Structure 1
Amino acid sequence: MPRVSFAPPSLCLTFLPLLHRLLPSLPPTVRDVDVPPLFRERFILAGYRPVGLSWRCYALSLFQIHNETLNVWSHLLAAACVVMRFMGPEGQGFSVDASSLPLVLYVFSAVTYLSCSAAAHLLQSHSEQAHYSLFFLDYVGVAVYQYGCALALCVYSSSTAWTQSMLGQVFLPAAALLAWLSCTACCYAKLRFRRPYPLHRKLCQVLPMAVAYLLDISPVAHRLSTCSWTSNFALPLHFLQVVLFLLSAFFFSCPVPERFSPGSFDIVGHGHQLFHILLSLCTLAQQEALFQDFLWRRPALVREFGERRLLLACASFPCLTLCCAMTAFAMRRKAQGQLMKEQR
């Protein structure tokens, strides 16, 4: 009787060691007491990745279950949805001109903030320096998105009465200034305060962003209060994105539900995950509303705003991005110096 060999083919013998080198087994997650205080979150007791692993391990932890998994995937999936929606039916025959450039910048800003946030939560456990650097990058992404929203809402979602008001005249410069202040305040609060964080650390982060949001949403608030919601399909979507944003702000500010049952929501369901999910849904609702407003207003947009004014407004976008990036880089240098002093 002939023997049956179960030896793998030579190709497998060559491929499996290579696969093992490319995809190493990841160490198990650890408890909060096993990582430095900088990497701990209040009321989250387990699911942390060990500090000091290789960059490749943290990149591959995208496919591992830990307490940052949903934070990363919620924003990665949202970024993919933003891009796919932009390349959808409205994108067929789409040409970039003065009237569509604010929409392009909005989509770019949304993908930027979602990607920067996902990268920060995925890779921040590498080291303290990486933690600071990546979250400073995250704050740059948030500021860029704030101004991208303000620009698109001003151009596509404002009424004529609001545009001609005093607020409408100073809206974009004020929105750019507040976006930069939000980035600066978040970077400063991250660097200045240590765990356990005092209340004024959260206020330092939340108040500038709250003021910026109240300004940025003013074109929509004016339309929602003065126009019939049945006259335009975009208005219910704008209302939905406001509700989703307010809910996300609540979960960003308050560590619930984990406060009431520490350890029960380490992997799924803690407040920052709910913040990420709600903010992603808010972005998708906002994008759809802006698409509807863009299609509605595009024929007369250049005539109403003027091509030169539209292009100047869009030119301020890279200027703001550069200012925020320089601020984050300066804060990174300060963090690096601070960490070097502590290690001596």
Structure 2
Amino acid sequence: MDGVNHTSEDSELISETIEKLPVSVSREGKGKRLWKKVKYQLVEYNSLPAYLRDNEFILGHYRSEWPLKQVLLSVFTIHNETLNVWTHLIGFFLFLSLTIYTAMKVPKVVDLHSLQLPEVLKADLHKLQECLPSLPNMPDLHKLSGELKSTLPSIDLLPSFSRWHVMDLLYNCLPERFSHSNQTDACVLRSMKEDVANMIAPLMLRPITRWPFFAFLGGAMFCLLASSTCHLLSCHSELLTYIMLRLDYAGIAALISTSFYPPVYYSFMCNPFFCNLYLGFITLLGVATILVSLLPVFQNPEFRTVRASLFLGMGLSGVAPILHKLILFWHQPEALHTTGYEVLMGIFYGIGALIYATRIPERWMPGKFDIAGHSHQLFHVLVVAGAYTHYQAGLVYLKWRDLEGCRGT
């Protein structure tokens, strides 16, 4: 009896253990998942390691020393760096689109000297250009257009952007009565403008290089992408934070340096001495700033003033060529137009830097702007706005030099 009872008791004990086993395993699995979830929870400022403490007015929603996989996935989650990442990531794709658009819609111009025109035809074209203000008295445009097309089979391949330049000028030359004419006259006028644009475009254009403009676009894209990557990955480890911050500094220096390439080159392209002087100076200053940012010794607190002075000096170095441009081309509306854009760009950058330095508005209400609306996010938006304003100025420079070349300089 004792043996049988003991066996029965053992069986009951084994059954109870088997019944409880899945529950135990299940609880263990839930515990691991819970621990993983807690481990990657957002933390408060006071829980951060020293190298991640930057803004004491942002109190919570920090990522701290997460694995790289979790860091990359956090681009789609909400934390206090989410908008810092996306404001410049969207800006990067904006400038990538603008670069593709510019390459397709603002192509290289045609060099008239490379076209083998008969001397008689050149004389006719120059006469046509001279009588442009009196279009109603011009010769048979369709006949002359036919002669051009037979002589220059590639005339229809002129960039549409270039023809747009000429057609834009024609609007100021045509009689005012055409603006109030009927639909038939409007169609005839449109056809006449197209013919005249095709004929005059080679004379109006100059082979202006595009590399300074694309250098600026490249610098802007590098800066925006480096900044976005820095804000996304810096929470991984101290080493990665060190690398990302230097990449971010290099991006800022690249944006500032290349921003001066279009205004300096297109303003002084006909004055090689000043063009090379200004371009060389800003390039050397940019390289020096990047090197300073890469050296570990200059990351010490005592060199903070040196770093800030270099970035400030880079920005202020643009005042000299802009003033010089205004002195040389005070009579050119394009000089005032581009300067207006450049002043607006400076205002955007200046306000952004002021907001970033003063940490407004989070310093007024700590913890209220942790997710959205803090100073760094506002700074990012203003940087994109300033760079886009400079892009618009670059288009004005291209149009000006395409049409004018070095005439009047």
Q: How does the TM-score come out when normalised to structure 1?
A: 0.69
- Is the alpha carbon distance of 1:156 and 1:60 closer, same or farther for their aligned partners in structure 2, counting shifts above 3 Å? farther
Residue of structure 1 in register with 2:312 after alignment: 210
- Is the alpha carbon distance of 1:190 and 1:107 closer, same or farther for their aligned partners in structure 2, counting shifts above 3 Å? farther
Residue of structure 2 in register with 1:179 after alignment: 286
Q: Distance in 2 between matches of 1:246 and 1:228?
A: 29
After superposition, the C-alpha distances for 1:98-126 in whole angstroms (9 at most, x for unaligned) are 61111111111110111011101111111
Q: Does 1:31 align with 2:133?
A: no
After superposition, the C-alpha distances for 1:237-265 in whole angstroms (9 at most, x for unaligned) are 22211110111121232222222222222
Gaps spanning 5+ residues in structure 2: where? Answer: 1-35, 110-206
- Aligned partners of 1:149 and 1:216 also within 8 Å: no
Residue of structure 1 in register with 2:355 after alignment: 251
Residue 129 of structure 1: how far off its partner (Å): 0.3
- Aligned partners of 1:257 and 1:271 also within 8 Å: yes
Percent identical pairs in the alignment equals 26
Q: How does the TM-score come out when normalised to structure 2?
A: 0.59
Structure with greater Cα Rg: 2
- Aligned partners of 1:146 and 1:216 also within 8 Å: no
Q: How does 1:82-231 map to 2 (within 5 A)?
A: 82-88=95-101, 91-92=104-105, 94-95=107-108, 99-157=209-267, 170-188=277-295, 192-193=299-300, 201-223=303-325, 227=330
Q: Supply the AA of the counterpart residue of 1:142.
A: I
3-state secondary structure, aligned to 1:30:
coil
Q: How does 1:229-244 map to 2 (within 5 A)?
A: 233-244=337-348
Q: Distance in 1 between matches of 2:257 and 2:102?
A: 26
- Aligned partners of 1:106 and 1:152 also within 8 Å: yes
Q: Supply the AA of the counterpart residue of 1:133.
A: I
Q: Distance in 2 between matches of 1:280 and 1:66?
A: 22
Q: Which moved more, 1:244-253 or 1:82-91?
A: 82-91
- Is the alpha carbon distance of 1:89 and 1:135 closer, same or farther for their aligned partners in structure 2, counting shifts above 3 Å? closer
After superposition, the C-alpha distances for 1:64-114 in whole angstroms (9 at most, x for unaligned) are 111111111111111111122233377326249861111111111110111
- Is the alpha carbon distance of 1:90 and 1:240 closer, same or farther for their aligned partners in structure 2, counting shifts above 3 Å? farther
Q: Does 1:62 align with 2:164?
A: no
- Is the alpha carbon distance of 1:277 and 1:202 closer, same or farther for their aligned partners in structure 2, counting shifts above 3 Å? farther
3-state secondary structure, aligned to 1:260:
coil
Residue 300 of structure 1: how far off its partner (Å): 5.4
- Is the alpha carbon distance of 1:63 and 1:191 closer, same or farther for their aligned partners in structure 2, counting shifts above 3 Å? farther
Q: Which moved more, 1:252-261 or 1:55-64?
A: 252-261
- Is the alpha carbon distance of 1:227 and 1:28 closer, same or farther for their aligned partners in structure 2, counting shifts above 3 Å? farther
Task: Please give the root-mean-square deviation of Cα atoms over the aligned residues, in Å.
Answer: 3.1
Q: Distance in 1 between matches of 2:324 and 2:346?
A: 13
- Is the alpha carbon distance of 1:153 and 1:89 closer, same or farther for their aligned partners in structure 2, counting shifts above 3 Å? closer
Q: Does 1:290 align with 2:303?
A: no
Residue 63 of structure 1: how far off its partner (Å): 1.3
3-state secondary structure, aligned to 2:89:
helix
Gaps spanning 5+ residues in structure 1: where? Answer: 1-23, 305-344
